[in-house]
A and B are shown apart, each in its own frame.
Chain A
Amino acid sequence: MKEQLQKDFNNIIKDFSLSQKDIEIKKFFLDNFINRGFPNKKEEDWKFSDLNQIIRKNIGELSFYSDYKSTNKVDTSIFVDGLEHNKIVFINGRIEKIDFDYEKKDQIEIIDQSETINEFNNNSLSDLNNAFTNKSFKILVKEGYQLAKPLIVYHTTNTKIWSKNINLRLDFELNKNSSLRIVDLFNDTSEKNFLNIFYNFELKENAILKNYKIDKFENKNIKYSFNNIDQEKNSISETFILSSGSNFVKNEINCNLKGKYSSAFVNGILSLNNDKHHEIRSIINHLTENTKSYQLIKSVLENSSKAAYQGKIFVNSKAQKTDGYQLSKAILLNKDSEFNAKPELEIYADDVKCSHGSASGSLNEDSIFYLMSRGLSYQQSRELLINGFLLDVVEKITDSEIKNLIKNLIGIKE
């Protein structure tokens, strides 16, 4: 892998006019990644999902060079119907379209930040991302501006994909009293690629962020998605994850509640079949007093699928009056499906309210019998029970338009 990394990195240096400083920074991250390699199960955060092995088994040798010069044609048929929205379109890792047609142009800034690199976390995937993302943007929403329409970020891959690994990165700055709704919609027709996605959010005072990540369509790709959310006073972040379509996905949410009365909501559904393996990892850092977090994760696992939820609530010594809650529930439809939960509470303040719970089991046979005795088939009964099980997570979505979109995608009828 090392030779390939070096080779692809040199190609990028050759093809793009990067500043010497930029090259040096990128080289630093490349070396870091070469040293560390992909995360494996020896690392605590990856004990349920050995990415190194997963990549080796599903993809084999990776290539890292992305051809950012040739443009891809945007297939408009993938756009969501019946919901007016702004768009960012990624095709094979290249940003093809940024369109805020529904918004006041002077209220949003799109900043080309390919020359600045932030460090995200201590994870080797951020090294990889920093080394190979050579063009990324920051979307800045100005003070007091609330976007009229949601932003849908289309993550599209197709068979013309150039490299086995794609790294992409978006930054968002939501200034005071602003709000933004983002839907990440994954649509893959490529096979056996590894997508490494980093988002960074800065929420200023009173800002509201709603991020809905939807990986619903069947595909054979491997994905890692990392959200870092820094929150100032009174800000609210709502993250919803529908994790279903890809062979492997790990969604990581790292939330820093830095300002008083800020709150974070992380809700998710892991609906898996066949041999899929998905994980949600959340770390909520309560760093000051009177902050709140709420997490509800539900999993429905069929065949030999595997899901994991690692949820951490960290409360530092200053964060009195913290209110932290997390609950995970799983239904295992087959004996060979597997669910792992690792709730963690790390609390250094004494006046806090924190709780966690986790339960897993099979579908209630008595309930199925009850429904079948009313003329419903086994399949109908099962679907009704599963939809019923998932409904309260979906109901946590505070945006009604997007809630309906997601209900339609899952097939929940009303």
Chain B
Amino acid sequence: MLKINNLNATIDNKSILKGFSLNINPGEVHAIMGPNGSGKSTLSNILSGKKGYETSGEILFEGKDLFELETEERAHKGIFLAFQYPLEIPGVNTNIFLKTSLNAIRKARGEKELDAIEFLKLVKEKSKDLKFDEDKLNRQLNVGFSGGEKKKNEILQMSLLAPKLSILDETDSGLDIDALKIVADGVNTLRDKKNSFLIITHYQRLLDYIKPDFVHVLMNGKIVKSGGPDLAIELENKGYENFN
């Protein structure tokens, strides 16, 4: 599904990713762990098409060169990034945003756009599953939401848009244990033979609830070690320093 070969990325003349390679097949869950500044967020930004990076190397998504696609086209093709810091958008009603987003993606997929009633039914159902406060849907997008509510809102968007590849950028940071379980449930519900996940995290904690197929250690811009779920536990015990 996703093939990254020898990806290099620099921003403001600072080299962040240095020969990063990764292969994700349909249905797989990959976790990337790494210390601050190792390039985790840069990776998720580049995958979703954020501007400002100088890049070389190759990223193929379902065989297509990702660099040829704009941010919204990547979303249309089924790439979703749950933001580490979801943005507050004043004056934009959450429901209107969600409906605009869902219909943009449905349209791109050649599916019928949902009318207001169909949409509300769906969003209420999904909110209930995620224990996301329905009143928030009528508020301005993320404005005045707590950290946990913002993260849940990301997972709500993920479950509405049903992407093929979901990238979770430190979604677990700032979450209490209840919220963490809800977020994990959201991921596990979407998990099947076709959908893949790339989970970026500092800690092993989230991986207790979302069992990854592969764990990679990202240090200084590239993967220094890959393994199974046990690698996460090993990391937690030994710390990153021993992988240098």
Contact = CB atoms under 8 A, between A and B. Distances in A.
A370 B87 contact: yes
A389 interface: yes
Given A385-B89, A387-B91, A376 B100 contact: yes
B14 interface: no
A296 to B, nearest CB: 13
A372 B91 contact: no
B50 A369 contact: yes
Contacts of B101: 371, 374-376
B76 interface: yes
A367 B97 CA distance: 12
Contacts of A364: 87
Nearest to B142: A370
B90 A369 contact: no
Interface string A370-410: 11111111101000110111111000000000000000000
A371 B96 CA distance: 12
A373 B71 contact: yes
Contacts of B161: 374-375
A375 B108 contact: yes
Nearest to B106: A375
Interface string B86-124: 110111110011001110110010000000000000000
Contact of A384 (B71, B72, B100, B105): B100
A81 interface: no
Given A365-B51, A414-B96, A372 B71 contact: yes
A375 B80 CA distance: 9
A371 B81 CA distance: 11
B104 A385 contact: no
Contacts of B157: 374
Contact of A367 (B48, B80, B89, B104): B89
Contact of A375 (B50, B87, B104): B104
Contact of A388 (B83, B86, B92, B100): B92
A388 B91 contact: yes
B104 A384 contact: no
Interface in B47-87: 48-51, 70-72, 74-76, 80-81, 83, 86-87
Contacts of A75: none
A364 to B, nearest CB: 8
B52 to A, nearest CB: 8
A366 interface: yes
A162 B11 CA distance: 62
B104 A377 contact: yes
Interface of A is mostly: helix
B140 interface: yes
A369 B161 CA distance: 17
B70 A392 contact: no
A289 to B, nearest CB: 35
B89 A373 contact: no
A21 interface: no
A42 interface: no
Contacts of B86: 370
A413 interface: yes
B92 A372 contact: no
A412 to B, nearest CB: 9
A195 B90 CA distance: 37
A373 B96 contact: no
A245 to B, nearest CB: 23
Contacts of B96: 413-414
B92 A384 contact: yes
B72 A375 contact: yes
B92 A369 contact: no
Contacts of B83: 370, 373
B47 to A, nearest CB: 10
Contact of A370 (B70, B89, B100): B89
Given A374-B161, A375-B161, A388 B90 contact: yes
A388 B140 contact: yes
A28 B101 CA distance: 64
A414 B92 CA distance: 9
Given A365-B51, A384-B100, A375 B75 contact: yes
A384 B70 contact: no
Nearest to A412: B91
A303 B70 CA distance: 24
Contact of B48 (A373, A378, A391, A414): A373
A48 B83 CA distance: 43
Given A388-B92, A391-B90, 11 more contacts: A369-B48, A372-B71, A373-B49, A373-B80, A373-B83, A374-B105, A375-B102, A377-B104, A378-B72, A385-B92, A388-B140
Closest 3 CB pairs of A and B: A388-B91, A391-B91, A375-B104
Interface of B: 48-51, 70-72, 74-76, 80-81, 83, 86-87, 89-93, 96-97, 100-102, 104-105, 108, 140, 157, 161
17 contacts: A364-B87, A366-B87, A371-B101, A372-B49, A373-B48, A374-B101, A374-B105, A374-B161, A375-B75, A375-B76, A376-B101, A377-B72, A378-B72, A380-B100, A389-B90, A392-B91, A414-B93
